Amino acid sequence: MSSYDTYKYDVLVIGAGGAGLRAAIEASARGVTVGLICKSLLGKAHTVMAEGGIAAAMGNVDDRDNWKVHFTDTMRGGQYLNNWRMAELHAKEAPDCVRELEAWGALFDRTKDGKILQRNFGGHKYPRLAHVGDRTGLEMIRTLQDHCIHQGVEVHMECTIITLLKDGGRVIGAFGYERERGRFKTFHAKAVILATGGVGRSYKITSNSWEYTGDGHALAYDAGAELIDMEFLQFHPTGMIWPPSVRGILVTEGVRGEGGVLLNKNGERFMFNSIPEPYRNQTSDNEEEGWRYIQGDKNAKRPPELLTRDHVARCIVREIKEGRGSPHGGVFLDISWIKKKISNSEEHIKKKLPGMFHMFKKLADIDITKEPMEIGPTTHYMMGGIRVDADTQMSTLPGLFAAGECGAGLHGANRLGGNSLSDLLVFGKRAGEYAAKFSKENNVGIIDEKQITATEHYALQPFEREKGDNPFDVQFALQDMMQQLVGIVRNETEMLRAKEHLRLMNQRAKNVFVTGNREFNPGWHTALDLRNMLLASEAITMAALERKESRGAHFREDYPDKDPNCGKYNLVIRKNADGQMTIRQEPIPEIREELKKIIEEMK
Amino acid sequence: MPTAAFQILRGDANNGRFESYSLEISEGMVVLDAILLIQAKYANDLAVRWNCKAGHCGSCSAEVNGIPKLMCMCRMSDLPLDKPVLVQPMKAFPLIKDLVTDVSWNFEVKKKIKKFKPRPPDAADGTWRMAQEDIDRVQEFRKCIECFLCQDVCHVLREHQLHEKFVGPRYFVQVASLEMHPLDVEDRREDLKKANGIGYCNITKCCTNVCPQDITITDNAIIPLKERVADKFYDPLKRFFRILFGKK
């Protein structure tokens, strides 16, 4: 019954956002054949949505910046659960990665002396984000895409992977389907890189598109790889909330970087009310000083709106819960107020934040140069993911690599804005390099036809049922449930209920029913994505239950404080021999003396 | 809540027909919301492309009441609801199914455009210096989200189907972004004239009118490129000097 096309590459890259493209470019530059799989059309991946910028300590705007400061900021932001080696590599290599984009044609906004301009962002001590207005992600993905297509990389657009293929303990390929005709495809590769992005689609309010269903997380887990830090899911403080149809769409942190302030319904800048201890001596305690910082005064400290995302999101939730929210259940984000400070504010806002101006005007009838926006937290980014070696990005399975959002370690308990785009570049490049190396040192594995037959059978089941659940209904139920029970504020009772719901939903997912045929059928695609979404949701819930403290993006109202003992380990999830999900604490390795000293010096 | 009627093109190239749906409209709803709700409730196999739902990715291009648009940026409140809202796929490309067309031609065209070729770095640190004023116009072109609405509306492609001889507005915007890039030293004028078929464009500005990113395609990209081509191929004196001094 098996009928599929087979493709052979040295390196197969699954996912074509920033990390996947950068990995494909690197592997190809090292002289191996590369196949690249996109779930959508090329150039539409979620990287295109990134707005604010790429964090890299180039020191173009403030020459006090260097990799040590960036490293320290990243570790502090991640509450020291980060893989410190990754944080070190990231801080050291990001500037060159940005310059490389420029050499490939990217055009970043400029400083007065003609260098790449850098902007302020939450948790970054100095202006650090290389950017293009508020469309940095578009610039980045287009630059990578246009570079990649001249490298001889073979691209498979609108193709989804359902399983990784294994030869013993090693990953040797992947099996999936193409959307257009619904035909199966087998990819035989010496090394496989996962760059599939995040899991946000498991939540109702999210900035993520339909693609972000935890595919890489689930593929790796199913193949036997380990996941870490799954309790740490970032809720971006500022998503659109009104009108209902735009709920969740991202409003860049760049708004705050350019001077935007958060206000409750009483017009109070509530962020001044709670400044966490580790940030006290970096944060201004009055509005006037905050504005001077935005204007580039090197002696001023940054405004509290630019604290880390986990903290800002929680403060917003607190304002809403305590009755000080905006009419539609959010708070206000106001950039228009800068008209009191600068004469050409309208022009300035349109120049710096053209996308935001356009989006609010078009979708919400709001002119952000004249009035405040209404915003609230939105599910945005998965800090957790596939456990990888810091230097090579290889997972715990030989031949399987991971980079970008689906990999984990760099961000610890909370990611700083701008650190994801640099993550994609630094570790996409490394994954490409080491996957190419692995492919040169290893032979092709042998594909197990039985695995393919079983996967085909599984994938076609939804067509064979006479009746069953609508896959979209199951997806919506999951999104509602995760939003309510495993959201920003968590507790044991609710999460135990979530576990029970997940068990029942897994049953429902096994009985979904699809109408129509295999040709471009979103019902079928959703039916197959469900398993991944459920698996990611289960891992999030299990880890969130296990971490009995509040840290970074993980907040437990039944354990509201940080517990120093919990700061000594990461939570690692894997499938045991019986196919059950298991979790264990893995001690964080002792940080290198030299790095420890850097952190101490900058406290 | 008001109800809206929809006529959506269903089927493939051999068997396309309009099917009717109706839906309650909520505040702020865009056409893409409606399509996705119809898909989830009544037609799970309704094929449509979308990603960001915020006008950033350019996936959900279609024709709404006959006008090429991003469905995610098309508010229901801007459409007359006393008659059915007509939703069709882009016409300039072969239909795959429902609202999804085969846009692969665009990706093939892109591959043939000569890639970015920078001059050697001029700063001591191995990078370049560029003034914001010098990149402003190129940044306009780089706003393109490759939604292909300009390709869809261009009569050279839409009516005359000259896909073999003409690359379309999207790729003139891309060539402009390269040709006017302060660092680029490649010369694409011969390609513009021959392989890209820029002469077919008779500047009706249809592309500019549909661009969701407000790129002034005709005035800022195509016309200056046409001038460059004329300069190279149709100005004998300048040509003579170029040969003499080797200028681009």
Cross-chain residue pair A44–B110, CB shorter than 8 Å: no
Q: Smallest Cα–Cα separation from A268: which of A339, A323, A306?
A: A323
Cross-chain residue pair A524–B100, CB shorter than 8 Å: no
- Specify the CATH number for the domain of residue A512: 1.20.58.100
B15 close contact with A: CB closer than 8 A: no
Among the candidates A379, A413, A433, a domain finishes at A379
A441: its two tokens: 């040192």
d(CA A197, CA B146): 21
Q: pLDDT tens digits for A557-591?
A: 999 999 999 999 999 999 999 999 999 999 999 99
A241 in the same domain as A154:
no
Which value, in Å, is the radius of gyration of the alpha carbons in chain A?
23
A381: its two tokens: 């980014």
Among the candidates A401, A421, A441, a domain finishes at A441
Q: What is the pLDDT of residue A56?
A: 98
Q: Cα–Cα distances in Å, from A27 out to A8, A17, A396, B47, B121?
A: 15, 15, 20, 34, 25
d(CA A392, CA A387): 11
Is A577 part of any domain? no
- A588: helix, strand or coil: coil
Q: What is the pLDDT of residue B1?
A: 72
Report the helix count and the strand count for chain A, using DSSP H and E.
Answer: 16, 21
Mean pLDDT of the region A218-231: 98
Residues 6+ apart with CB under 8 A from A336: A345, A349, A368, A369, A370, A371, A372
A56 in the same domain as A36:
yes
For residue A161, pLDDT beyond 60: yes
For residue B246, pLDDT beyond 60: yes
H/E run at residue B31: helix B31-41
Is A586 part of any domain? no
The count of other CB atoms within 10 Å of the CB of residue A537 is 27
DSSP letters, A135-204, are -HHHHHHHHHHHHHTTTT-EEE-SEEEEEEEEETTEEEEEEEEETTT--EEEEEEEEEEE-----GGGSS
For A103, which of B27, B118, B146 is closest by C-beta distance?
A: B118
Residue type for position A37:
I
Rounded to the nearest angstrom, the gap between the alpha carbon of residue B72 and the centroid of all alpha carbons in its chain is 16
Q: Which CATH architecture has domain B3-101?
A: Roll (3.10)
For residue B247, pLDDT beyond 60: no
A431 in the same domain as A475:
no
A196 in the same domain as A225:
yes
Where is pLDDT greater, at B178 or B242?
A: B178
Cβ contact A7:A428 at 8 Å:
no
| Phi-psi label, residue A55: left if phi above 0, alpha if psi -120 to 50, beta otherwise | beta
For B115, which of A45, A146, A470 is closest by C-beta distance?
A: A146
Q: Smallest Cα–Cα separation from A422: which of A47, A64, A66, A98?
A: A98
Residues of B in contact with A519 (CB under 8 A): 12, 47, 96-97
For residue B248, pLDDT beyond 60: no
- Least Cα separation, residue A545 to chain B (angstroms): 31
Is A502 part of any domain? yes
Active site residue A236: yes
d(CA B96, CA B46): 12
Beta bridge partners of A178: A159
Residues of A in contact with B73 (CB under 8 A): 362-363
Give me the domain span that covers residue A344. 237-379
d(CA A54, CA A32): 29
ipTM, 2 dp: 0.95
- Report the chain B residue with the minimal C-alpha distance to residue A156: B104
Residues of B in contact with A522 (CB under 8 A): 39, 44-48
Strands A555-556 and B100-101: unpaired
Average pLDDT, chain A: 96
Cβ contact A133:A354 at 8 Å:
yes
Is A447 part of any domain? no
A109 in the same domain as A195:
yes
Beta bridge partners of A551: A554
Report the helix count and the strand count for chain B, using DSSP H and E.
Answer: 10, 7
The count of other CB atoms within 10 Å of the CB of residue B195 is 15
For A48, which of B41, B53, B56 is closest by C-beta distance?
A: B56
Q: What is the pLDDT of residue B232?
A: 87
Among the candidates A379, A397, A432, a domain finishes at A379
Instruction: Please state the pTM of the whole predicted model.
Output: 0.96
Does B104-245 carry CATH code 1.10.1060.10? Answer: yes
A422 in the same domain as A334:
no
Q: Cα–Cα distances in Å, from A137 out to A128, A220, A381, A420, A450?
A: 16, 26, 15, 10, 41
- Specify the CATH number for the domain of residue A320: 3.90.700.10
A194 in the same domain as A46:
yes
A198 in the same domain as A133:
yes
For residue A593, pLDDT beyond 90: yes
A46: its two tokens: 């979620």
Cross-chain residue pair A105–B181, CB shorter than 8 Å: yes
Q: What is the pLDDT of residue B235?
A: 81
For B130, which of A110, A516, A517 is closest by C-beta distance?
A: A110
For A381, phi then psi, to 5°, come to -150, 140
Cross-chain residue pair A520–B100, CB shorter than 8 Å: yes
- Where are the domain boundaries for CATH 1.10.1060.10 in chain B? 104-245
For residue A11, pLDDT beyond 60: yes
d(CA A434, CA A442): 12
d(CA A451, CA A308): 45
Percent of chain B with pLDDT over 90: 91
Q: pLDDT tens digits for B198-207?
A: 999 999 999 9
d(CA A219, CA B54): 29
Residues 6+ apart with CB under 8 A from A564: none
A65 in the same domain as A137:
yes
Q: Smallest Cα–Cα separation from A100: which of B239, B108, B128, B203?
A: B128
Q: Give the confidence band of A536 by pLDDT, cuts at 50, 70, 90.
A: very high
Residues of B in contact with A48 (CB under 8 A): 51-52, 56-57, 145
Cross-chain residue pair B40–A147, CB shorter than 8 Å: no
Sign for the CA dihedral angle at B179, A359, B34, A536 comes to positive
A135 in the same domain as A158:
yes
A434 in the same domain as A338:
no
Q: pLDDT tens digits for B72-111?
A: 999 999 999 999 999 999 999 999 999 999 999 999 999 9
- Number of compact structural domains in chain A: 3
- Where are the domain boundaries for CATH 3.10.20.30 in chain B? 3-101
- Specify the CATH number for the domain of residue A110: 3.50.50.60
For residue A2, pLDDT beyond 80: no
Of A76, A135, A156, A236, the catalytic one is A236
- A462: helix, strand or coil: helix
Is A304 part of any domain? yes
A467 close contact with B: CB closer than 8 A: no
Q: pLDDT tens digits for B64-83?
A: 999 999 999 999 999 999 99
- DSSP classification of residue B120: P
Is A99 part of any domain? yes
Q: What is the pLDDT of residue A301?
A: 95
A166 in the same domain as A23:
yes
- Least Cα separation, residue A490 to chain B (angstroms): 28
d(CA A514, CA A524): 6
Residues 132-191 of A with CB under 8 A from B: 132-133, 135, 137-139, 142, 146-147, 149-150, 155, 157, 180
